[in-house]
Structure 1
Amino acid sequence: MIRRALRLSIALLAALVVASGTPAVAHPPSSHPQWTPLAYAPAPADNPLKGFLPYAGSYETFPYSMEWFYLPLRDVMTGPKQFNWAALEQQLDDIASRGHQAVFRFYLDYPGKPTGIPQYLLDQGLLTRPYPDFGNNGVSVSPDYTDPRLVSALESFIGALGRRYDGDPRIGFITLGLVGFWGEWHTWPYDGWTQPENWMPGTDVLTRVLSRYETAFDETRLLARYPSPENKTLGIGYHDDSFAFETLPNQSWHFVQRLIDQGVTEKWRDEPIGGELRPEIQSCLWDQPVSCGQYEDYAESVAQTHASWLINHAAFAGAGYSGDNKARALAASRSLGYELTVTAAAVSRDRVSVKVANRGAAPFYYDWPAELAALDSRGRVVKRWHTNWSMTGIQPGGAPTLKSARIDTRGLRRGSYDIVLRVPNPLRGGIPLRFANTSQDNESGWLHLGAVTTR
């Protein structure tokens, strides 16, 4: 939790100060570079950690960089402190083999699916409740979330998950899950209002679950289903699983209204927002005119939530979208999350400086270090410089952020060299972050900044 707090402070500071690749020296630079504007072009729709994503699988119908899956807790938890991670490892490795990162959730109770409750808890006599709702017809059961054995199990699992997987480059985001139908932190209609019974745990249990997540994860970004008094001050983002359907105000249960009511409408600046485009509208929202019976304005939903990613499996299933509908869906996917562009660069034999702006809806949330390189006339990397530049926290619509680093071109043969910038993905074979510039090479990830001549 301390490192998470430090991360937030560092991200804010990074947006305000000049980053330096190597310590400055006392003597003046050998040349005096001039700023050169770099032209804008839309970034690729499959930039990492943003956009539309499908349920896990290989698809050719739509560009994507992340994949979604659920897992029942019973698949990995075999005892109070015993775990078999094979099911999770298989999913993560399969997704990573395609160069993608995973977004996932564990559940205890998924309507219509066999129970996700660990067998040892059932064997100990954990109270469960059958229900007919959501087409379940008694297949899954809702556990007694107040049972101390279950609460202890959840805390044990979260701690073990964090110890093993916090910072794993195969993971993009984790949604908290575990509690409620689908792991969505509600048991409607069994909420004490619609039905007299309330199957949700009290705030004491929810606070323990949230606290365990907060202490178990420092690097991997977490998302909760609903803003609440218990999570509003934590380093946890949110996911809206009824996006563009129950997103906009003024109904009290709509997502943005919940953000307003909890005073966290600006939390997206530090913590990510994700979710799912409501399944009923995934196939009709891109018609012109929109043919959905009920929906909300998609662009306004993005503008008010600053969402970075959304499950939209209809874009990938079967033949996906086509024609103008696909073009509109591609634009909608691109509109999510960050879009970083280098507005100008200054390149010399001993220093490289860039100005980076964000034309997107949200920041980039991970601290992926940038690197500089010199390419020869055949496009080969002949020298590389690591920097401490971070793209984390560069806010949309703000003034460009200045990054500057010393480079040492001594030792290069006489000639001209392209100086390039890249933000590599820590996932082996993962998609690099690409800038929204005409000089961006989308295959290699290198952004061409300018050239230097050595003598």
Structure 2
Amino acid sequence: MVHPPINRFARIALVTVLAATAAALPAPGSAAATRPDWRPLAAAEAPDANPLQGFIPYAGDYSTFPHSMEWFYLPLNAVMTGPRRFDWRALEEQLDAIAARGHQAAFRFYLDYPGKPSGVPKFLLDQGLLTRPYDDFGNNGQSVSPDYDDPDLAAALDRFIAALGRRYDGDPRVGFVQLGLLGFWGEWHTWPHNGDPGTENWFASQAGQVRVLNAFDAAFDETRLMVRYPGADNRALDMGYHDDSFAYSTLPGPGWHFMDLMAQAGTTDKWKTSTVAGELRPELQGCIFNTPMDCAGDGDKDFAGSVAQTHATWLLNHHAFSPGYTGAAYDKALAGAKSLGYRLRATAVRTGQRRHGLDLSVRIQNDGVAPFAYDWPVQVAAVGRDGRIARTWTTSWKLTALMPGVPAELDAALPAGGLRKGDYTLVLRAANPLRGGLPLRFANAGQDTTVPGWLTLGRTRIS
């Protein structure tokens, strides 16, 4: 946004009043004027849905449970039509439909999805790519497991990943991209064909896995990436993780659970810089929020403990949307969804006069379990008595730096050039780059009270 130039010779005094009625501040230059009092901001319940967190469904129009994202899979052959040819219409249609509902998307491409037709591009099959039929997971021969170390396939994946990054890195419709491509469902395993005694190992070699990891890391700089399993080969890469058996094989124990692998890889603190997410294990979705919890079989079955240890931000949980929860189970599921990710609350604000402007400080704390995933522009605006925004300032504040349990004090100098004399209300927001996207809302009583999508900080008079 282009702001009017500051008139360095204007004599503008800003008197800030963060109360119901105006009151004069001490004279400029006094100790009280340069170090004004902090004014508390009233807390409130966190919103039921906030961007890029909580439970999400498979893509579709649902009103049964609050949400901000939608999930989908796509076969690689839906977009890769030749060695260097791509038709992005299938992906565009999904992204546009989800964005039209005000949501961001999370997605994964696959080559092999049990029970669905193969996602391997036809030109690779025509070139003689080795594939293996199987009946596991109810596949009954519909899909095939490709030779992931075939040189033609490896080169095709390189070209696809590079093209995907060029086109979609930083796209505001996209919240997260999971690496996918390798293994059943793109989940980076071919169990039970994994080389255990008496079985062949169908999965990609270590070198093949590293090639895909590095290709994604090189192709994406802005959009958040996720890979299924933590490991030494991805520890230093700019990508998070997705636990697709959440609350089933999450907590440490037998050595192969998600948190076991996190500890072995030395990535237990990586949630601070890279998002952790996943899928609530399908067998648990319909029972884990019952009272009493009545899920049969084995598994962790500890939702709260899994959230606390993983610092998960969002989970695919389609049961919440269809068939949906009712009664007490709905309330527990909603509380579970709201326990994921960030929960931002502004606790206090203060302002001080400066030549031709205002010094603003806001104290914010994150009451959630993870930081926000992106540095969306954090903006302050002055709202006139007519309810319209008269001027907006974009700060240098970083949402990703707001760590759980670590209160932050954020400061900004706001030049007053372009504002007329009169009374204004200061408001704050983190601007969702998706046009029509769900606003990020603070857990404050002043959220949405002056302008929808903005947090009210207090009143200012320009004289």
Q: 1:132 and 1:212 mapped to 2: Cα distance?
A: 31
With 343-352 and 184-193 compared, the bigger mean Cα shift is at 343-352
Partner amino acid, structure 2, of 1:393: A
Q: 1:217 and 1:194 mapped to 2: Cα distance?
A: 38
Asked whether the equivalents of residues 58 and 71 of structure 2 are also in contact (C-alpha less than 8 Å), the reply is yes
Q: 1:194 and 1:163 mapped to 2: Cα distance?
A: 42
Say which of 399, 402, 409 aligns to 2:409: 402
Asked whether the equivalents of residues 247 and 296 of structure 1 are also in contact (C-alpha less than 8 Å), the reply is no
Say which of 343, 361, 368 aligns to 1:360: 368
Could you report, residue by residue, the CA deviation over 1:27-53 in whole angstroms, capped at 9, with x for unpaired residues? 999554321111222221210011000
Residues 194, 104 of structure 1: CA spacing in aligned structure 2 closer, same or farther, 3 A cutoff?
Answer: farther
TM-score when normalising by structure 2: 0.90
Aligned pairs for 1:63-142 (under 5 A) are 63-142=66-145
Q: Is 1:254 matched with 2:257?
A: yes
* Aligned match of 1:270: 273
Q: 1:283 and 1:415 mapped to 2: Cα distance?
A: 56
Could you report, residue by residue, the CA deviation over 1:5-42 in whole angstroms, capped at 9, with x for unpaired residues? xxxxxxxxxxxxxxxxx99x9x9995543211112222
Q: Is 1:420 matched with 2:406?
A: no
> How far apart are residue 157 of structure 1 and its match?
0.4
* Aligned match of 2:25: none
Could you report, residue by residue, the CA deviation over 1:147-197 in whole angstroms, capped at 9, with x for unpaired residues? 000010111100000011000000000110000000000000000106420
* Aligned match of 2:23: none
Q: Is 1:441 matched with 2:451?
A: no
Q: 1:410 and 1:187 mapped to 2: Cα distance?
A: 62
Secondary structure of the corresponding residue to residue 45 of structure 1: coil
* Aligned match of 1:4: none
Could you report, residue by residue, the CA deviation over 1:218-237 in whole angstroms, capped at 9, with x for unpaired residues? 00000000011211111110
Partner amino acid, structure 2, of 1:201: A
Partner amino acid, structure 2, of 1:38: L
Q: 2:271 and 2:197 mapped to 1: Cα distance?
A: 32
Q: 1:274 and 1:195 mapped to 2: Cα distance?
A: 34
Q: 2:143 and 2:126 mapped to 1: Cα distance?
A: 16
Say which of 285, 304, 307 aligns to 1:302: 307
Q: What is the alpha-carbon root mean square deviation over aligned residues?
A: 1.9
Residues 304, 260 of structure 1: CA spacing in aligned structure 2 closer, same or farther, 3 A cutoff?
Answer: same
> How far apart are residue 410 of structure 1 and its match?
5.3
Residues 325, 83 of structure 1: CA spacing in aligned structure 2 closer, same or farther, 3 A cutoff?
Answer: same
> How far apart are residue 412 of structure 1 and its match?
3.8
Asked whether the equivalents of residues 161 and 216 of structure 2 are also in contact (C-alpha less than 8 Å), the reply is yes
Q: 1:107 and 1:427 mapped to 2: Cα distance?
A: 26
Q: Is 1:50 matched with 2:53?
A: yes
Say which of 314, 319, 323 aligns to 2:319: 314
* Aligned match of 1:17: none
Q: 1:330 and 1:196 mapped to 2: Cα distance?
A: 43
Secondary structure of the corresponding residue to residue 231 of structure 1: coil
Q: 2:197 and 2:81 mapped to 1: Cα distance?
A: 35
Q: 2:100 and 2:198 mapped to 1: Cα distance?
A: 46
Residues 205, 91 of structure 1: CA spacing in aligned structure 2 closer, same or farther, 3 A cutoff?
Answer: same
Secondary structure of the corresponding residue to residue 191 of structure 1: coil
> How far apart are residue 87 of structure 1 and its match?
0.4
Asked whether the equivalents of residues 188 and 194 of structure 1 are also in contact (C-alpha less than 8 Å), the reply is no
Identity of aligned pairs, percent? 57
Partner amino acid, structure 2, of 1:327: D
Asked whether the equivalents of residues 307 and 337 of structure 1 are also in contact (C-alpha less than 8 Å), the reply is yes
* Aligned match of 1:379: 387
Greater share of strand residues, 1 or 2? 2
Asked whether the equivalents of residues 383 and 426 of structure 2 are also in contact (C-alpha less than 8 Å), the reply is yes
Asked whether the equivalents of residues 347 and 419 of structure 1 are also in contact (C-alpha less than 8 Å), the reply is no
Structure 1 or 2, whichever has the larger Rg, is 2
Residues 194, 105 of structure 1: CA spacing in aligned structure 2 closer, same or farther, 3 A cutoff?
Answer: farther
Partner amino acid, structure 2, of 1:236: M
Secondary structure of the corresponding residue to residue 241 of structure 1: strand
Could you report, residue by residue, the CA deviation over 1:101-160 in whole angstroms, capped at 9, with x for unpaired residues? 000000000000000000100111111000010000110000001100001011110000
Q: 1:178 and 1:410 mapped to 2: Cα distance?
A: 53
Q: 1:383 and 1:322 mapped to 2: Cα distance?
A: 45
* Aligned match of 1:450: 458
Q: Is 1:347 matched with 2:351?
A: yes
Gaps of 5+ in 2: 15-27
Asked whether the equivalents of residues 279 and 312 of structure 1 are also in contact (C-alpha less than 8 Å), the reply is yes
* Aligned match of 1:325: 329
Q: 1:403 and 1:356 mapped to 2: Cα distance?
A: 8
Secondary structure of the corresponding residue to residue 129 of structure 1: strand
Q: 2:415 and 2:39 mapped to 1: Cα distance?
A: 21
Deviation >6 Å, runs of 4+:
none
Q: 1:257 and 1:101 mapped to 2: Cα distance?
A: 31
Say which of 415, 439, 442 aligns to 1:432: 439
Asked whether the equivalents of residues 50 and 308 of structure 1 are also in contact (C-alpha less than 8 Å), the reply is yes
Asked whether the equivalents of residues 284 and 301 of structure 2 are also in contact (C-alpha less than 8 Å), the reply is no
Q: 1:173 and 1:75 mapped to 2: Cα distance?
A: 19
Q: 2:462 and 2:402 mapped to 1: Cα distance?
A: 34
Q: Is 1:213 matched with 2:216?
A: yes
Gaps of 5+ in 1: 1-21
Asked whether the equivalents of residues 424 and 432 of structure 1 are also in contact (C-alpha less than 8 Å), the reply is yes
Count how many residue pairs are aligned between Structure 1 and Structure 2: 430
Residues 148, 449 of structure 1: CA spacing in aligned structure 2 closer, same or farther, 3 A cutoff?
Answer: same
